[in-house]
Amino acid sequence: MIGRITGLLLEKHPPLVLVDVQGTGYEIDVPMSTFCKLPDIGKKVTLHTHLWVREDAHLLFGFMTEQERTLFRQLTKISGIGARTGLAILSGLNVTDLHQAVVSQDSIRLTKIPGIGKKTAERLLLELRDKIDPVAILSETGVVASNVDKDILSALLALGYNGREVNRALEQLSEGVTVSDGIMQSLKFLSKVK
């Protein structure tokens, strides 16, 4: 398996790039999220890769970050989601946005990606729901700032609230709130919203 490639970027033709590694040129398909972060032609580039083996071809897919590659692998394990669809999803949403869509179960966000219909979006959300840690994702986005926030978030998620609702409840909490007070305030806020 080819896990990572470092070399000179020779060509960029979306979604394909050509990387020269000591005289061998590798054609690598990349999502637009990676393509936009590529250096200029002739500069050194490192891509995390995934080798896709089919009966009629060996295809190499490249990603700027390990998180993108991991998410690509999770997507392609879902029935009906192939490599091209996985690239389309990562081209339409970055890793954080896709994680937030899964946490908040936002199928509308996924249907805006070309080639993703309502049923496919719902299947994606269902399949990815248990594979994504909502606390980690909301921490990445700056919504969860402390261990107290994480405890409140975990409690609200355990009570069945979705990521979007929890996110709104956490935003209205005052600084320095305790876990128990934060949960009570959040529950009051969420009961008024519904």
Model pTM? Answer: 0.70
The predicted pLDDT at position 47 comes to 97
At the topology level of CATH, where does 66-130 sit?
A: DNA polymerase; domain 1 (1.10.150)
The predicted pLDDT at position 34 comes to 94
The predicted pLDDT at position 119 comes to 92
Superfamily of domain 4-63: Nucleic acid-binding proteins (2.40.50.140)
The SS3 assignment for 156 reads helix
Q: Are 87 and 61 in contact (CB under 8 A)?
A: yes
Phi-psi region of 49 (alpha: psi -120 to 50; beta: other; left: phi over 0): beta
Maximum Cα interatomic distance, the chain, rounded to a whole number of Å? 64
pLDDT tens for each residue of 115-144: 899 999 999 988 887 776 555 555 554 455
pLDDT tens for each residue of 53-109: 989 999 999 999 998 999 999 999 988 899 999 999 999 998 888 887 887 788 999
Q: Which residues contact 13 (CB under 8 A, 6 or more apart)?
A: none
